[in-house]
């Protein structure tokens, strides 16, 4: 098959597998307590592993806890020598972030962009994924290969052409549809160029492939068309994959920096990350509101992560490693 | 109604049913495919096209390889952007891999709270780079937490780590080794769990200790995992943008010490409005990344993680 020559595909685990066995670690080395004389060594090993894990977890947590602590401080408190907790707890950091520095607006912008990208990914990737998994049409393999090939095209190569397309061409095209003076060097552009990703489509297709065909056959016998089968039979069964796509896309769009940095030039359109970037250069050491804004950027993703951990893992590779 | 449609469908025979299915298939993929063609496939060619013109705000003269020749002689590009990106890659990749593998091995033990630890180690990879970068700036500020701790340990350092030419890039390397280690851990975890249990059992029966088992059994068996993580790390490192942009600003300060290839590309295209030149940088970077991928595949064989 054509996919043989592909670049290494991220090790996307079928979301259902994750949903079913969750954290069950199939390859975990067995404990060797059955062998005499091993027990003590084993216990020491376990103790060391625990110690290392707690230490590392603490190290990992400190920056986040420190920023939370600072977000509740007064500015004077941040330069008044070391203290673990704020000397005077205050919400003024958050108040300033929201009211003086416009982060309320930025949060709304981030939410709008992330929601739009998530919804359109769910829609387009499930439609396309269903067709690639189930419907037979000439050129299917080639087209799917093309979709996966887009994973090899770095954003940096697309920067200039896409910017010029958004500035020069798209307003004209949309003008033909009767929508005049629509700009794409703003939120519209950020959403438009992320409407669907190859990863979303791939995840959906792989999941649809695991659904038994009997159900569709039954729907067909009942006289259901392809779209009805997709909507009434396949979509309701694809919950875990849809969840994985939604979470991945939301997280990616919420944290996104590259395209917003290029396309969001008007302050009223800034997202939280862009707001933070500009705040940093303008106000340098105004730590409490900056930390409040950072907490604001992190908390929604943290909540999602705690609620839906397994789905994050399902699509981990897709996000790749963006520096 | 349904019966009538069904009969009609049957009457038209298998051939038309197949045509219908194909038509529906094309209909379903039409929007996604149009999107991929317009915003992914087409821009590859268009980028090359733009790179052959003297293209500022408006399209200018055809200059052939002019932009590439200019890039060849661009000292900021080679002495700062490329150099920093390579230094960054050479240091951050082994760090990420070592950290990722260590974490993966530790959380792969049959141990309590395993899920919690995995989550805790993975989370920094998920948090917004902008938030992480500002937290890091705060902690590594001249009077920040890090210097406070160092002073207590008797090592006096009173400068902002991101503010000085000599420490800015190494600090970013450390920061990113940390934030990406969780992702690397998950990659390694996937390949660790692909190792069959009986291999460990055999090693245990032979009396091999944990350390020996790791180096003689686990590490070599992880070869496909190593390859995959290496490729992903290198490609990610070559594309580093977020932290450089957030910490050094578009100009890669102080004094170009955090200028990377992608930041330079951004700088030239968006700040300087030199689209032709920016496109040329994009093409060069793409060719380089592509070559790295191909060379690694030739050297290490196929990745089998997927």
Give chain B's domains with CATH numbers.
Answer: 2-49 (no CATH), 68-300 (1.10.3720.10)
pLDDT tens, position by position, for chain A (323 residues)?
333 333 333 344 443 344 334 444 445 554 444 555 557 777 787 788 788 888 889 999 999 999 999 999 888 888 777 778 888 888 888 998 999 899 999 999 999 999 999 999 999 999 999 999 999 999 999 999 999 889 889 999 999 999 999 999 999 898 888 888 888 999 999 999 999 999 999 999 989 998 888 888 888 888 888 899 999 889 999 988 999 999 999 999 999 999 999 999 999 999 999 999 999 888 877 899 999 999 999 999 999 998 988 777 765 544 333 32
Q: Is pLDDT of B14 > 90?
A: no
Top residue of A137, A150, A157 to mutate, by most chain B CBs within 10 Å, is: A157
| CB-based contacts of B119, cutoff 8 Å, min separation 6 | A305, A306, A309
Top residue of A77, A156, A282 to mutate, by most chain B CBs within 10 Å, is: A156
d(CA A240, CA A34): 39
**CB-CB neighbors (< 8 A) of A27 in chain B:** 108, 192-197
Q: pTM to 2 decimals?
A: 0.86
Q: What are the C-alpha distances in Å from A269 to residues A99, A298, B290?
A: 16, 20, 35
Instruction: Write the residue in A23, A196, A293 that is nearest to B35 by C-beta.
Output: A196
Any idea which residue has 């416009």 for tokens?
A102
Instruction: Write the residue in B120, B187, B278 that is nearest to A11 by C-beta.
Output: B187
- B252 reaches A (C-beta below 8 A): no
Residues 58-87 of A with CB under 8 A from B: 60-61, 63-64, 66-67, 70, 79, 82
**How is residue B41 annotated by DSSP?**
I
- Is residue B301 classed exposed, middle or buried when 0-12, 13-18 and 19+ CB atoms within 10 A define those classes? exposed
Residue B47 and residue A128: Cβ atoms within 8 Å?
no
**How is residue B248 annotated by DSSP?**
I
* Tokens (6 digits) for A129: 């994924």
For chain A, list the domains and their CATH numbers.
102-283 (1.10.3720.10)
d(CA B227, CA B222): 9
**Shortest distance, CA A192 to any CA of chain B (angstroms):** 9
H or E element that contains B197: helix B197-205
- B301 reaches A (C-beta below 8 A): no
**Shortest distance, CA A322 to any CA of chain B (angstroms):** 5
**Shortest distance, CA A137 to any CA of chain B (angstroms):** 4
Instruction: Write the residue in A11, A57, A293 that is nearest to B120 by C-beta.
Output: A57
Residues 29-58 of B with CB under 8 A from A: 29, 31-33, 35-36, 38-44, 46-47, 50
Q: What are the C-alpha distances in Å from B220 to residues B71, B117, B202?
A: 42, 25, 15
* Tokens (6 digits) for A21: 């066995």
d(CA B249, CA A282): 11
Any idea which residue has 């939604």 for tokens?
A246
């Amino acid at each position: 098959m054509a996919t043989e020559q592909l670049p290494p595909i991220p090790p996307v685990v079928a979301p259902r597998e994750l949903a079913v066995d969750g954290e069950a670690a199939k390859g975990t080395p067995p404990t060797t307590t059955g062998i005499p004389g091993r027990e003590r060594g084993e216990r020491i090993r376990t103790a060391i592993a625990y110690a290392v894990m707690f230490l590392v977890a603490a190290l990992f947590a400190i920056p986040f806890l420190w920023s939370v602590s600072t977000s509740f401080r007064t500015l004077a408190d941040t330069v008044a020598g070391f203290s673990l907790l704020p000397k005077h707890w205050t919400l003024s950091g958050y108040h300033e972030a929201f009211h003086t520095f416009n982060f309320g607006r930025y949060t709304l912008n981030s939410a709008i962009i992330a929601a739009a990208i998530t919804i359109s990914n769910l829609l387009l990737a499930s439609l396309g994924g269903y067709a690639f998994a189930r419907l037979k049409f000439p050129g299917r393999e080639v087209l799917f290969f093309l979709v996966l090939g887009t994973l090899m095209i770095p954003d940096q190569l697309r920067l200039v052409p896409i910017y010029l397309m958004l500035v020069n061409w798209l307003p004209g095209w949309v003008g033909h549809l009767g929508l005049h003076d629509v700009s794409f060097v703003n939120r519209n552009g950020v959403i438009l160029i992320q409407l669907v990703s190859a990863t979303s489509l791939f995840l959906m297709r792989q999941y649809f492939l695991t659904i038994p065909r009997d159900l569709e056959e039954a729907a067909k016998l009942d006289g259901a068309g392809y779209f009805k089968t997709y909507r009434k039979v396949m979509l309701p069964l694809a919950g875990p994959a849809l969840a994985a796509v939604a979470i991945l896309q939301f997280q990616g769009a919420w944290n996104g920096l590259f395209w917003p940095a290029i396309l969001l030039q008007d302050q009223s359109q800034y997202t939280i990350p862009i707001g933070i970037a500009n705040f940093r250069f303008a106000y340098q050491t105004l730590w409490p509101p900056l930390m409040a804004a950072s907490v604001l950027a992190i908390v929604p993703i943290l909540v999602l992560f705690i609620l839906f951990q397994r789905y994050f893992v399902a699509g981990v590779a897709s996000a790749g490693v963006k520096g | 109604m349904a019966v009538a449609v069904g009969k009609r469908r049957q009457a038209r025979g298998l051939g038309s049913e197949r045509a219908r299915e194909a038509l529906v298939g094309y209909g379903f993929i039409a929007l996604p495919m149009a999107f991929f063609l317009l915003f992914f496939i087409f821009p590859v060619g268009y980028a090359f096209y733009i790179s052959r013109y003297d293209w500022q705000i408006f399209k200018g003269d055809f200059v052939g390889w002019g932009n590439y020749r200019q890039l060849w002689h661009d000292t900021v590009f080679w002495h700062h952007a490329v150099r920093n990106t390579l230094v960054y890659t050479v240091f951050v990749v082994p760090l990420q891999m070592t950290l990722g593998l260590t974490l993966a091995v530790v959380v792969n033990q049959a141990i309590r709270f395993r899920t919690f630890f995995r989550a805790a180690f993975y989370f920094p990879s998920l948090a917004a780079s902008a938030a992480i970068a500002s937290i890091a700036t705060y902690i590594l500020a001249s009077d920040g937490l890090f210097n406070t701790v160092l002073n207590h340990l008797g090592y006096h350092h009173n400068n902002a780590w991101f503010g000085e030419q000599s420490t800015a890039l190494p600090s970013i390397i450390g920061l990113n080794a940390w934030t990406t280690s969780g992702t690397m851990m998950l990659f390694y975890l996937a390949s660790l769990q692909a190792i069959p249990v009986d291999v460990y059992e055999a090693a245990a029966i032979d009396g091999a200790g944990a350390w020996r088992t790791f180096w003689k059994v686990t590490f070599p068996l992880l070869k496909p995992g190593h390859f995959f993580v290496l490729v992903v790390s290198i490609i990610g490192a070559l594309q580093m943008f977020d932290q450089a942009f957030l910490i050094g600003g578009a100009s890669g300060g102080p004094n170009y010490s955090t200028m990377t290839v992608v930041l330079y590309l951004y700088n030239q295209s968006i700040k300087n409005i030199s689209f032709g030149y920016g496109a040329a940088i994009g093409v060069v970077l793409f060719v380089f990344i592509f070559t790295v991928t191909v060379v690694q595949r030739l050297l290490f064989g196929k990745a089998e993680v997927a």
